[in-house]
A and B are shown apart, each in its own frame.
Chain A
Amino acid sequence: MSELHLSERMPEVAAGKFGWTEAERRHLETCPDCRAEWTLVTIGRDMGRSAVRDLDAGRISAGVLARLAAEPAGPRWGRLPRTIWWVGGLAAAAAALVLLVGTPAAPDRNPDTVAGFVIPVMELDSLDADQLEMVLETMETPITDASVIDVPTLHELDDQQLERVLRSLEG
C-alpha cells in the first residue's frame, strides 16, 4: 500500500462509499503527512454546509423562472441557429490561425521552421516530466494574481507522461 494509493482512496472513503482497511487505518495513525491530507479532504467535503443551511430552493427557482419569463421574446444571441455559430466559429478560428502563424516569410533556411512558417506551438511529447511540470506552473496563474488561465495542453499528454509528472510530485 503506497501513500499515493491512500490519497486516491480518500475522497471515496470521506464520501462513505468505502471504508479503510485495517492496514490503511494503521498507516493513517502513524503517518502525519497522510493524516494532514485526510484532514484536508474531510474539511473540503464539509465546507459550506452551514453557508447553505438557509438556502431556499423554492425562492431560487421562483426567481429564476421569473427572470426567464421576463426575457424578451424573439431572436437572441443564445437562440441563433447553431449553424450561424459554427460559421462564425470557423471564421474566428481561421483569423486566429492567420494571426498565430503569420504571413509567409521570405525563404527560410532555418530547419526548425516548416515551409517558412515559425510554429510557436510547444511539442509536449518531447518534454520530460520535470519540463511538463514547469509548463504546468507557467500556464496556471493563481486567481489572486491575474486572470485565470486554463491549461489547454495537458490533454495532449498520454497516461505514461502524466504518471511521470505525478511521480515527480510525490518525490
Chain B
Amino acid sequence: MSTESLPEEEVSDAALASAWRAGDERAAAELVARHAAAAGRYLYSAGAGVSEVEDLVQEAFFRAFRRLDTWRGDASFRGWLLTIAGNLLRDQYRRRKGRTVLSLEDRDLPDQRDPEANLLASETESRVRDGLTRLPRLQREVFLMRVQQGSDYEEIARVLGTTPGAARVHYHHAVKRLKELVA
C-alpha cells in the first residue's frame, strides 16, 4: 500500500504500519518521526538517562517493527510502542541488578532567564522523576500515559491489558504517592 497518494497528515498509523509491512521504508521513517519524541520523553521520565534515550528509542522501534504483526490496532500505535519501551527499561533494570541511577546531568536543563526559580523547578522535577522510578510499574505507566499523552482510561486499559476502572485506581495511587514530593 503506497503512502504517496495521501497528504502526510491524513495517513493513519495503521496505514503506515501496513505500508511498512508491504516494504515501504518511508512509512517506517514516518512512524519514527511521529512517535520518537514521545517515546523518548516517556523513557526519560521513567528513569532512563539522557545519554541513553536515543539508543533506547531506537531499540524500542526496532522491537516494534520486528513484531508489527502483533499490533492489532485495537490500541494506539503510540501506546503499544510505549509498552515496548517500558519492557526495555525493565530489561535494563534487570541487567543492572536492580540499580537505577539518576545522575546530576540527567536533569532537564533549566531556563536561564530566571535561574533561581528554574533551579527550584528543576529540583522539584528531579524529585518527581525519582518518585516515578520508585512507583510500581503499572502505576508509573498509567500516570505517564495520562499526563504526557492525555490518554483516557479506556485507551490506557487497552494498551496495558487491564480495565478502565483499574487504570483509574492505578492513576490515583500514583498521584497520591507523588503528590507528597511537590507539596
Which residue, A17, A155, A159, has most C-beta atoms of chain B within 10 A?
Answer: A155
Q: How many chain A residues have a CB neighbour from B under 8 Å?
A: 60
Chain B nearest CB from A80 CB (Å) reads 11
Contact assessment for A162 and B98 in the assembled complex, using a CB-CB cutoff below 8 Å: no
CA distance A44 to B67 in the complex (A): 30
Question: Nearest residue in B to A4 (C-beta to C-beta)?
Answer: B172
Q: Mostly helix, strand, loop or mixed at chain B's interface? A: helix
Q: Chain B nearest CB: distance from A158 CB in Å?
A: 8
Complex CA distance for A169 and B67, rounded to whole angstroms: 39
CB pair B108–A40 under 8 Å, yes or no, is no
A45 to B137, CA, bound (A): 18
Are A61 and B32 in contact, with the CB atoms below 8 A?
yes
B183 cross-chain contacts in A, Cβ below 8 A: 32-33, 36
Q: Is the CB of A15 within 8 A of B150?
A: yes
A52 & B37 in contact (Cβ 8 Å cutoff): yes
Interface centre among A32, A39, A52, A170 (most CB of B within 10 A): A52
Nearest Cβ in chain B — how far from A56, in angstroms? Answer: 7
The interface on chain B, measured as residues whose beta carbon lies within 8 A of the other chain's beta carbons, has a size of 68
Contact residue among A32, A43, A50, A61 (Cβ-Cβ distance under 8 Å from B33) = A61
Q: Which residue of B lies closest to A65 (CB)?
A: B25
B68 to chain A, nearest CB (A): 10
A96 part of interface (Cβ distance < 8 Å): no
Closest to A55 in B: B40
Residue of A nearest to B25 (CB): A65
In the complex, which of the residues B44, B94, B173, B182 contacts A43, with contact meaning CB atoms closer than 8 Å?
B182
Contact across chains for B182 and A36 when beta carbons are under 8 A apart: yes
B61 (CB) vs chain A CBs: closest residue = A64
Smallest CB-CB separation from B45: which chain A residue? A47
Q: Of A7, A40, A68, which is within 8 A of B182 by CB? A: A40
Query: What are 27 inter-chain pairs, A to B, with CB distance below 8 A?
Result: A11-B147, A15-B150, A33-B179, A44-B147, A48-B44, A48-B45, A49-B108, A50-B108, A51-B53, A51-B108, A55-B57, A57-B32, A58-B33, A61-B33, A64-B32, A68-B66, A140-B136, A143-B100, A143-B134, A144-B133, A145-B98, A148-B136, A149-B136, A150-B137, A154-B170, A162-B169, A169-B173
